[in-house]
Amino acid sequence: MGKNAMLIFGAVDGTSVENDEDYEKTFYDSNVHRLFLNWTHGPKEYRRGPNALDTRSDISTRNQAIAVKDFVVSYWGPYKRGPVYGKAVFLAGYSRGAAAVIEVCKWLKDYDIPVECLLLYDPVDRSFGVGNAFNNTPLTDNVKNVIHVVRDHGAESRESFGNCGTRRENWSKTKGLGPIPFFGTHAAIGGTLWPDPPNGEFIDEGFPDYMTKVTADRDRDTFARVRDYTYAELRQGITNCKNRMAREGTRVPDFQVTPVAGGSLPPTGGGKRYYIVKPGDWLSKIAQQYYGDPMKYPIIHKANLSVIGPNPDIIKPNQRLEIPYI
């Protein structure tokens, strides 16, 4: 094969405290930061998220988005427009940082730069810096694939704000399910867990949202399931990119993610992929989605007997199913 491909990775993490040292401790094992630490496919850029009121100018939502956009353009080539041989862009963001990378996609469209994959963890736009305050900016059609997870609103986490990124300019051009809800807190979706409340009580997020419907044990389980799902989907996105680039004479190393305490990850060698069951799903529908043939549902059933049980006609929302490669 030819030269290595360049997969450019840019990320903006979630909103938190103003102090950088405290922020680093809190977000060291966040989903976005862990992806950044383990990215080995090309140049990478990680930006911390803004402070809660978005008042610190050097880390504002807009400035962090601009920094990631400039980083991507510098490696893509400032005078190159459209697809470039051997290069692809991957972006990830959490909370207000996810709103930032949605804006980055919009700016990259002005350069005719495609985004191979956009990974969104519970995106929230509560800033005048990007997309105008509380504006549900659509995912622009230069985004090829999106992995989008959000908190289930039944968990009653962060009820004072909603989500963004739920609209797309062109659903036929931007592939991927979503947003997919997980029953957990906003913090668990991003990979920054709350400390255990006393006596196994529900998590209290404080002003202005206060008590949730989530215990710490449930939140840890959600954290692990979100990480399993998004990392597996990202691995598949990288594999698809690698296969395409191989036909162009380039190659991409295997995706590696180091497991961390509190979250289970798919094996780095096998590249398993998973699907989270939603209301209204059935196995043949899932088989059609992944294999293009609804009659291949027994493959999924056999791989998930311990989860589904003997009857393939009964699956339940939020079950995590392995989708074997065939």
Nearest to 186 by CA among 200, 170, 166, 206: 206
Q: Does domain 274-322 have CATH number 2.60.40?
A: no
Domain covering 6-247, topology: Rossmann fold (3.40.50)
Among 281, 283, 301, smallest CA distance to 293 is for 283
The whole-angstrom separation of Cα 175 and Cα 254 is 22
Q: Exposed, middle or buried, 290 (CB in 10 Å: 0-12/13-18/19+)? A: middle
Half-sphere exposure of 210 (CA within 13 A, CB side): 1
76: left (phi over 0), alpha (psi -120 to 50) or beta: alpha
Q: Classify strands 211-215 and 202-204 as parallel, antiparallel or unpaired.
A: antiparallel
Task: Judge contact between 113 and 73, C-beta under 8 A.
Answer: yes
Helix (H) or strand (E) holding 236: helix 216-247
- The alpha carbon torsion through 277, 137, 35, 304 (nearest 10 deg) reads 10
Rounded distance between C-alpha atoms, residue 293 and residue 270, angstroms: 24
Q: Decide whether 6-247 matches 274-322 in CATH topology.
A: no
pLDDT of amino acid 92: 98
Give pLDDT < 70 ranges for the chain. 1-4, 78-79, 82, 126-129, 131-135, 198-199, 251-272
pLDDT at 33: 93
Structural domain boundaries in the chain: 6-247, 274-322
Partners of residue 120 on adjacent β-strands: 93, 148
Q: What is the pTM of this model?
A: 0.76
For residues 33 and 325, what is the distance between their CA atoms, to the nearest angstrom?
Answer: 29
- Local structure of residue 309 (DSSP, 8 states): -
Residue pLDDT, tens place only, 289-317: 777 777 888 899 989 998 998 888 889 88
Whether residue 147 contacts residue 93, with contact meaning beta carbons closer than 8 Å, is answered with no
